[in-house]
Each structure stands twice: as C-alpha cells, then as structure tokens.
Amino acid sequence: MKKVLVTGADGFIGSHLVESLLETGEDVRAFVFYNSLNSRGWLDTIPPDKLKAIEIVQGDIRDEYRVRTATKDVDVVFHLAALIAIPFSYLSPRSYVDTNVGGTLNVLQAARDYGIGKVLITSTSEVYGTAKYVPIDEKHPRQGQSPYAASKIGADALAESFWKSFRVPVVVGRPFNTFGPRQSARAIIPAVIIQLLEGRDTICLGGLHPTRDFVFVRDTVDGLQRIAASDGLVGEAVNIATGTEISIGDLASKIIAMINPRARIETEAERLRPAESEVERLCGSSALLQSSTGWSPKVSLAEGLAWTIDWFRNPENRARYKSEIYNL
C-alpha cells in the first residue's frame, strides 16, 4: 500500500480517481478546495464507507503552505487541481495562471523538498490547439489558443523543467476529452444531456463543426494510474486518447437520438469561442501509453454515453446542476 495524494479530488476526474485508488488498495489523502459549506465536492456522493477511508485535507492549491502540508509523507502525487473551463478563462485569465501555473509550482516544489517518489501532473489535449496532423502524438507543437490552454502549457513546461533541473520524478498525463458521470455542465456532453432531460426541444450549443476525441472517465483514470506506475515514462508527457474523433454536431445528434429524437440543435452566439481561439480538430495517438503500459480504451463512445445518460436520469444527480443557465 502506498500513501497517495490526489489534488482536485473533489472534482469530476479526481473523484473517480480516488475511488479507483481505493479499489486497488492505496492509502488516499484527498486535497479538496476549502469552502464555508464544508463541501467536499463529488466526494460527498460516494458511499460513506469509502469516504471514511479517505484522509481529507481542505485548502487552496494556490496556498504554498497548505500544499506542503498535504504533500508531506506521501509516496505519490496525482495533481489534478485546476481551473478548466475555457469560456471563463476569457473572463478571468489571471486566475488561471495563479491556479494552474502557480498551483503546479507549489506541488512541484513540495515534491522536490520532500523527495516524493512520483508526481503525475494532469495536462489536457487543449495544449495542442488545432491539430497540425492526426493522430496527435506527444511531439505535436503546443499552441495556446485560449488562456486556459496557455496556463496548462505553462504548467507542463514547469513539470518538464523540474525533471531536467532537479530530477524530480515527474510525468505528465495528457487526457483528451474525458466524459462521464459527474462532469461539469460546462462540457458538451452534460450540456446536451441535461437540456434534453429537462424536456427542451431546442438544444443550444456553440460551434458544431469542431471534432474531439472522447475518452470515458474510467479509461482516463486507468491511464493516469498506469502512467504513474510506469518508471519508464518519467520525464515524459503521455497522451490518453482513443484515436477516433467525432464532430460536436454529430455527437449532439447521437445523444438526441438516444433521448428525444424530436429535438433540434440551435447555435447560440454566447457559446461560440473567438474564431482564432477555437480548436478545430483533436484526435490523439495513445501509442506511447499503449506500448509502455498495455493500456487501451475499454469503453466505447456509445457505451459511455448510455452510462452517462443513465446517471443523469437520476433526479438526485441532476438536481446538482442549474439547467436553466449557461454554465461557463
């Protein structure tokens, strides 16, 4: 058993990762964002017996002291804490630099000082920008087409520098478009599902032509754990992708057919990205991950959509979302 720290454990991917780590017998410390309601985010929805097994540390990833407190005496760090909504990064770019770059620096510095055995920094396919070739491998140029993407490029570069400068055993896991239960309504799949389940016949979306490579959350979590466990990937960035792509319009149509075939799609101006900021195409290669760890995606898009829709059909789950507003 290893002592494992997960930052951003209260979030979508983080909460699924915590559950998976518990299933594999790890001793988990969860770093969650402090708030006056004492909410632990999505961790509050997992079974009580699992929750009792987790050591909860509340704080702010931007607080160097609190991050050091959370990092002490652990063997492995999974760093997922980040601001991730692209539309809000247009409105508040400084907060993305402070959280995504500054927070990552806090984790790396603590890991260096404490001699942590492995640090996994969670990146994003958005760092690649619009594909110059497909499938996108780890050698693809990085392009900051949004403040969010730029902040994650900065975080990735810091991780690389701590490996090269100080030999901190860092590896970067780079998921493509993860989806599944608990995902924020700012993401395309929950946005479509929620509108349909709330009985709307007109589904409001942004651009319909961009393509994305969707990975079910269980496969993403499996990829992150395999990357962290592989000594051969230290100092590397590693994609987690299916190698397939689908346009946003075709994806929405697929979900509509599964819930309400009468619904139609309408483009809403406020949901569109600035023209030069839109990432037109993402389709990733996971060849490095597959050859190094044996990982492969187990859940198809159709299967993952069905499971996600079933989760959102539960009124208790859906009540956590504000379906009447556009979620930045």
Residue 118: strand pairing partners = 76
260 SS3 class: coil
Amino acid at 251: L
Q: Identify the CA nearest to 264 among candidates 209, 318, 205, 214.
A: 205
Q: Angle at CA 121, nearest 5°, toward 117 and 124? A: 160
Q: At what angle do helices 103-114 and 64-71 cross, to 10 degrees?
A: 40
Q: Tell me whether residue 65 is one of the annotated catalytic residues.
A: no
**What burial class does residue 225 get, using C-beta atoms within 10 Å of its C-beta: 0-12 exposed, 13-18 middle, 19+ buried?**
buried
Annotated catalytic residue, options 114, 148, 321, 326: 148
Residue 321 CB partners (closer than 8 Å, separation 6+): 185, 190, 194, 327
Preceding omega of 135 cis (within 30 degrees of 0): yes
24 SS3 class: coil
22 SS3 class: helix
CA–CA gap between residue 220 and residue 93 (Å, rounded):
27
Q: What is the DSSP string of 111-179?
A: HHHHT-SEEEEE--GGGG-S-SSSSB-TTSPP---SHHHHHHHHHHHHHHHHHHHH---EEEEEE-EEE
Active site residues: 148
